[in-house]
Amino acid sequence: MNNGARLAIDIGGTFTDVVLEHGGGQDSLKLLTTPDAPERAVLEGVGDILRRSGVNASDVTLIIHGTTLATNALIERKGARTALVTTDGFRDSLEIAYEHRFEQYDLYMERPPPLIERDWRFTVPERIAADGSVLLALDEEALRALAADLGKTGVEAVAICFLHSYVNPDHERRAGEILAAALPGVGITLSAEVCPEIREYDRASTACANAYVQPMIAGYLNRLQDGLRSQGLSCPLLLMMSSGGVTTVETAVRLPIRLVESGPAGGAILARDIAKENDQDKILSFDMGGTTAKITLIDDFQPHIARSFEVARTHRFLKGSGLPLRIPVIDMVEIGAGGGSIADLDAMQRIRVGPESAGSVPGPACYGNGGVAPTVTDADTVLGRIDPARFAGGQVTLTPERAVDAINRDIGEALNIDTNIAAAGVSEIVDEHMANAARVHAIENGKDMVGRSLVAFGGAAPLHATRLADKLGIDRVIVPQGAGVGSAIGFLRAQISYEVVRTRYMDLREFDPIAVNGIYQDMRAEAESVVRLGAPDEALVETRSAFMRYRGQGHEIMVPVPVRVFGTDDGAALAGWFEAAYSALFSRTIPNLAVEALTWTLSLATDRPGVEMAPSIREQYHPDPLGQRKMFDPASGAWIEAAVHARADLRPGAVIQGPAVIVEDETTTLVTDGFGATVNALGQIVLTRMGAAG
Amino acid sequence: MSGADMDRIRYQVMWDRLLSVVEEQAQTLMRTAFSTSSREAGDISAGVFDLHGQMLAQAVTGTPGHINSMARAVVHFLDVFPIHVMKDGDIYITNDPWKGTGHLHDFTVVTPTYRNGAMVALFACTSHVVDIGGVGMSPDGRQIYHEGLNVPIMPLAIEGEMNQWLLNLVRANVREPVQVEGDIYALAACNDTGARRLFAMMDEYGLDDLDALGRHIIEQSRTAITARINALPQGSWKHAMRIDGFEAPIDLVAELTISNGIIHVDYTGSSGTSDFGINCPMCYTEAYTAFGAKCVVAPEIPNNAGTLDAITVSAPDNTIVNAPHPCAVVARSTIGHMLPDVIFGCLHQALPDRVPAEGTSNLWNVKLGAGHGITKRTEHETTAFMLMSFHSGGAGARPRLDGLSATPYPSGVRNVPVEITEAITPIVVWRKELRTDSGGAGAQRGGLGQTMEITSREDAPFGIFASFERVLFPARGRDGAGAGATGRIRLASGKDLNNKGFQTIPAQERLIIEMPGGGGFGDPKARDPEAVAEDVRLGLVSPEAAARDYGVVEEDGEVD
Digit-coded pLDDT (tens) for B325-347:
999 999 999 999 999 999 999 99
Query: Residue A278: its pLDDT value, please?
Result: 94
B227/A201 touch (CB, cutoff 8 Å), yes or no: no
Band (A290; pLDDT cuts 50, 70, 90) = confident
| Mean pLDDT of the region B289-315 | 94
B433/A350 touch (CB, cutoff 8 Å), yes or no: no
Contacts of B405 in chain A (CB under 8 A): 95-96
Chain A nearest CA to B292, separation (Å): 9
Query: What 3-state DSSP class applies to B343?
Result: helix
Q: Three-state SS across B344-398?
A: HHHHHHHCCCCCCCCCCCCCCCEEEEECCCCCCCCCCCCCCEEEEECCCCCCCCE
- Asked if A95 reaches chain B (Cβ–Cβ under 8 Å), the answer is yes
As a whole number of angstroms, the distance between CA A549 and CA B31 comes to: 10
| Mean pLDDT of the region A279-286 | 94
Contacts of A90 in chain B (CB under 8 A): 418, 431-433
Query: Residue B555: its pLDDT value, please?
Result: 67
Which residues 661-690 on chain A approach chain B with CB closer than 8 angstroms?
A: none
Handedness of CA A415, A420, A425, A430 (dihedral sign): positive
**Residue of A636 and A400 predicted with greater confidence:** A400
Q: Which residues contact B138 (CB under 8 A, 6 or more apart)?
A: B277, B330, B331, B367, B465, B467, B501, B502
User: For B298, which of A100, A347, A505 is closest by C-beta distance?
Assistant: A347
- Can you list the alpha helix ranges (DSSP code H) found in B175-251? 177-205, 211-230
Looking at residue B77, its amino acid is F
Torsion angle, CA of A135/A140/A142/A148, rounded to 10 degrees? 150
| Mean pLDDT of the region B546-551 | 96
| Mean pLDDT of the region B418-425 | 88
Query: What 3-state DSSP class applies to B52?
Result: coil
- Asked if A136 reaches chain B (Cβ–Cβ under 8 Å), the answer is no
| Mean pLDDT of the region A561-575 | 94
Tens of pLDDT, residues B454-499? 999 998 999 999 999 999 999 999 999 999 999 999 999 999 999 9
State yes or no: pLDDT of A3 exceeds 70: no
- Closest chain A residue to B297, measured at CA: A105
Q: Three-state SS across A127-180?
A: EECCCCCEEECCCHHHHHHHHHHHHCCCCCEEEEECCCCCCCCHHHHHHHHHHH
**Residue of B348 and A536 predicted with greater confidence:** B348
Band (A2; pLDDT cuts 50, 70, 90) = very low
Among A96, A335, A419, A585, the residue to mutate for chain B (most B Cβ within 10 A): A96
Query: Residue B7: its pLDDT value, please?
Result: 82
State yes or no: pLDDT of B308 exceeds 60: yes
| Mean pLDDT of the region B367-385 | 82
Handedness of CA B432, B434, B435, B436 (dihedral sign): negative
Q: What percent of chain A has pLDDT over 70?
A: 97
- Closest chain A residue to B291, measured at CA: A105
Contacts of B60 in chain A (CB under 8 A): 104-105
Among B13, B29, B459, the residue to mutate for chain A (most A Cβ within 10 A): B13
Chain B nearest CA to A144, separation (Å): 22
Vertex A263: Cα angle to A329 and A275 (nearest 5): 75
A432/B301 touch (CB, cutoff 8 Å), yes or no: no
Contacts of A110 in chain B (CB under 8 A): 401, 404
State yes or no: pLDDT of A552 exceeds 90: no
Tens of pLDDT, residues A315-333? 767 788 899 999 999 998 8
Contacts of B9 in chain A (CB under 8 A): 351, 421, 424-425, 428-429
Q: What percent of chain A has pLDDT over 90?
A: 63
Among B14, B131, B419, the residue to mutate for chain A (most A Cβ within 10 A): B419
Contacts of A346 in chain B (CB under 8 A): 300
How many contacts (CB atoms, under 8 Å) link A and B?
A: 223
Query: Residue B400: its pLDDT value, please?
Result: 93
B62, B411 contact by CB (below 8 A): yes
Tens of pLDDT, residues A46-105? 999 999 999 999 999 999 999 988 988 998 899 999 999 999 999 999 999 999 898 889
Chain A nearest CA to B187, separation (Å): 12
Give the lowest-confidence range in A250-254, A313-317, B515-519.
Answer: A313-317
As a whole number of angstroms, the distance between CA B61 and CA A104 comes to: 8
B427, B509 contact by CB (below 8 A): no
Indicate yes or no: pTM above 0.80. yes
- Asked if A450 reaches chain B (Cβ–Cβ under 8 Å), the answer is no
State yes or no: pLDDT of A588 exceeds 90: no
User: For B419, which of A96, A110, A199 is closest by C-beta distance?
Assistant: A199
Tens of pLDDT, residues A452-493? 999 998 889 999 999 999 989 999 999 998 877 888 999 998
- Asked if A439 reaches chain B (Cβ–Cβ under 8 Å), the answer is yes
As a whole number of angstroms, the distance between CA B216 and CA B220 comes to: 6
Query: Residue B344: its pLDDT value, please?
Result: 98
Query: Residue B5: its pLDDT value, please?
Result: 79
Query: Residue B109: its pLDDT value, please?
Result: 97
Contacts of B432 in chain A (CB under 8 A): 89-90, 92-93, 96
User: For B407, which of A93, A101, A588 is closest by C-beta distance?
Assistant: A101
Terminal C-alpha separation, chain B = 70
| Mean pLDDT of the region A148-171 | 95
A379, A423 contact by CB (below 8 A): yes
Instruction: Count Cβ atoms below 10 Å from residue B400 Cβ, excluding itself.
Output: 11
B192/A587 touch (CB, cutoff 8 Å), yes or no: yes
User: For B428, which of A91, A135, A166 is closest by C-beta distance?
Assistant: A135
Instruction: Count Cβ atoms below 10 Å from residue A47 Cβ, excluding itself.
Output: 16
Give the HSE-up count for residue A487: Cα atoms under 13 Å, Cβ half-sphere. 28
Which residues 513-552 on chain A approach chain B with CB closer than 8 angstroms?
A: 550, 552
B434/A587 touch (CB, cutoff 8 Å), yes or no: no
Domains and CATH numbers, chain A: 5-74+219-259 (3.30.420.40), 77-213 (3.40.1360), 497-606 (3.30.1490)
Give the HSE-up count for residue A516: Cα atoms under 13 Å, Cβ half-sphere. 28
**Residue of B94 and A446 predicted with greater confidence:** B94
Query: Residue B34: its pLDDT value, please?
Result: 75
Query: What 3-state DSSP class applies to A258?
Result: helix
State yes or no: pLDDT of B1 exceeds 60: no
Q: Which residues contact A691 (CB under 8 A, 6 or more apart)?
A: none
- Asked if A440 reaches chain B (Cβ–Cβ under 8 Å), the answer is yes
Tens of pLDDT, residues A390-422? 777 677 789 999 999 999 999 999 999 999 999
Band (B559; pLDDT cuts 50, 70, 90) = low
Chain B nearest CA to A270, separation (Å): 29
Per 3-state DSSP, what percentage of chain A is helix, strand, and coil (rounded to 5)? 35, 30, 35
A446, A585 contact by CB (below 8 A): yes
As a whole number of angstroms, the distance between CA A46 and CA A17 comes to: 10
- Can you list the alpha helix ranges (DSSP code H) found in A302-399? 376-382
State yes or no: pLDDT of B519 exceeds 60: yes
Closest CA relative to residue A90, chosen from B314, B433, B72 = B433
Contacts of B288 in chain A (CB under 8 A): none
Looking at residue A173, its amino acid is R
Band (B392; pLDDT cuts 50, 70, 90) = very high
Give the lowest-confidence range in A186-200, A393-407, B144-158, B253-267.
Answer: A393-407
User: For B419, which of A118, A200, A637 is closest by C-beta distance?
Assistant: A200
State yes or no: pLDDT of B206 exceeds 70: yes
Contacts of B420 in chain A (CB under 8 A): 198-199
Query: Residue A1: its pLDDT value, please?
Result: 39
Tens of pLDDT, residues B164-204? 999 999 999 998 888 899 899 999 989 998 999 899 889 88
| Mean pLDDT of the region A583-587 | 73
DSSP at A509: G
- Closest chain A residue to B37, measured at CA: A554
Q: Three-state SS across B442-503?
A: CCECCCCCEEEEEEECCCCCEEEEEECCCCCCCCCCECCCCCCCCCEEEECCCCECCCEEEE
A104/B537 touch (CB, cutoff 8 Å), yes or no: no
Query: Residue B415: its pLDDT value, please?
Result: 87
Q: What percent of chain B has pLDDT over 90?
A: 78
Query: Which DSSP string corresponds to A304-324?
Result: PEES-EEES--STT-TTSSEE
- Asked if A613 reaches chain B (Cβ–Cβ under 8 Å), the answer is no
Pairing of strands A638-646, A660-663: parallel
Tens of pLDDT, residues B43-63? 889 999 999 999 999 988 778
- Asked if A119 reaches chain B (Cβ–Cβ under 8 Å), the answer is yes
Contacts of A579 in chain B (CB under 8 A): none
Contacts of B554 in chain A (CB under 8 A): none
| Mean pLDDT of the region A164-183 | 96
Q: Which residues contact A595 (CB under 8 A, 6 or more apart)?
A: A508, A548, A549, A550, A551, A574, A575, A578, A579
User: For B9, which of A106, A428, A552 is closest by C-beta distance?
Assistant: A428
Which residues 382-411 on chain A approach chain B with CB closer than 8 angstroms?
A: none
